[in-house]
Amino acid sequence: MKAVALTIAGSDSGGGAGIQADLKTFAAHGVYGTSALTVVTAQNTRGIRMAVALDPALVLAQIEAVLDDFPVAAVKTGALSNTGVIEVVARALEGRNLPLIVDPVMFAKSGDALLDEDALESMKALLFPLATLVTPNLPEAERLLDLHAGHLSAPEAIQALVRSLSPFPMLLKGGHGTEEQLHDHLLLPDLTQEFTSVRQFTRHTHGTGCTLSAAITANLALGLALPLAVERARDYVQAAIYVAPGLGSGAGPLEHFPFRAGSMG
């Protein structure tokens, strides 16, 4: 039977992030993608022009419709917008024992806010206990861990965090730095693992976080163990950046079918 994954996230009219990136990533991995839309945005590579959150009842109905009929093997969340949506997502997933990747989307690549200020604590309280993995970038991790802005820009601060016991299973993404090497840290209760790759200096990085979390989800749906799922997902994103189509005048999208497009591998 074909593996099935569910993404619960927002729509990006430019196709580079959100539901669109997730479904393309699922397809690139041979996984059947299902979706529940949380917020509709009017955006392109330069930013978000408008965003409208959907009624939580509609979000819940979408999730339940999918889970009642499809053999979903893994789930991911992206932009959830507000506390009401977070509450129904948690209600729908609680007790189902499905692998859950939480991408704590707070801001778009352009800097536009995608999560209400008061919704962060709800996410931590309701979704993180259900999560197989949370995938924050450095600024998001600082918010989630109640650290001051810029705290994790110091390598010694990251190493201190790695040595401590993370309050939730986390892939700490280092992509917001400027050094030539990218360092991501997988922090689990029984495992700490560092992943390193060469940074690609390019403006075509719109949707990298969505794409990475979707690739991890797809790999979990295919039955891979979490550390290997993360490793394969990172390789996929690197390839997707390498052959990015060069679209838009801002932060351009990735090529979500990189191997078909003739990249490495």
Active site residues: 173, 205, 207-210
User: Which residues lie closer than 8 Å to 143 by C-beta, 6 or more apart?
Assistant: 106, 120
Secondary element (H or E) of residue 60: helix 56-67
What is the Cα–Cα distance from 154 to 264, expressed in whole angstroms? 32
The 8-class DSSP code of residue 237 comes to: H
DSSP string, 165-222: --SS-EEEB-TTS-SSEEEEEEEETTEEEEEEEE----S--BTHHHHHHHHHHHHHHT
Cα 144 versus chain centre, distance? 15
Cα 255 versus chain centre, distance? 16
C-alpha distances in Å from residue 100, one per residue of 64, 236, 247 = 16, 20, 31
Which among 169, 180, 113, 179 has a CA at the least distance from the CA of 144? Answer: 169
